[in-house]
Amino acid sequence: MNDASIIEMLWERDERAISEMKQSYEKLCFNVAGSILSQPEDREECVNSAYMNVWRSIPPNRPSNLKNYICRVVKNYALNIIKHNSADKRSPEMAVSLDELSECIPDGRSIEDSVSAEQLGAAISSFLRSQPEKYRKVFVRRYWYSDSVEEIGKFYGMNEKTVATYLFRMRKKLKEYLQKEGYINE
């Protein structure tokens, strides 16, 4: 079943939509949750709760891309589980990837002062669309899916040093872009 049909079922409050989402996106949802959460029980809770959150949020929301919408809900829920369970249980790979990005993304205080997180997200998306495909894919695998440099190298058949170089260059370019656009004052 296609995404438009699933969204329509959700909009009409047809409970079959949840099983259709599971059939279409369960593996992806578990991959997203698994990149953040280490415990199988947490991943299971995260994915099931994400389905319920999608059910509750459509309507009033009508996402244009169901796959991205579900992944975002799963990721946000997984991050909430991390916060709840304490920082000690956080995946070290997730912590490292977030630390890497902290050098080019403004902190929460400056976001609240100057621009909403949604606008910042749109700016980052715009930046990523302007980058070469391979760089963009490596960046997304690292900072959205929280894959390790080693996993990304294997996935794309690249040397780990090449992956690290791609990531370094993209962070540098992103920081320059955000400075130019007025999101970072330096």
DSSP 184: S
Query: 3-87, which class in CATH?
Result: mainly alpha
Hey, do 3-87 and 92-180 end up sharing a CATH topology, with the first three levels equal?
no
Each domain of the chain, given as residue ranges in start order, spans 3-87, 92-180
Q: What is the CATH number of domain 92-180?
A: 1.10.10
The distance from CA 9 to its chain's CA centroid, rounded to whole angstroms, is 25
- Contact at 8 Å (CB) between 81 and 46? yes
Cβ burial 12-30 (10 Å sphere, 16+ → b, else e): eeeeebbebbeebbeeebb
pLDDT single digits (tens) 132-186: 999 999 998 888 877 889 999 999 999 999 999 999 999 999 989 888 887 777 6
pLDDT at 117: 64
pTM of structure: 0.55
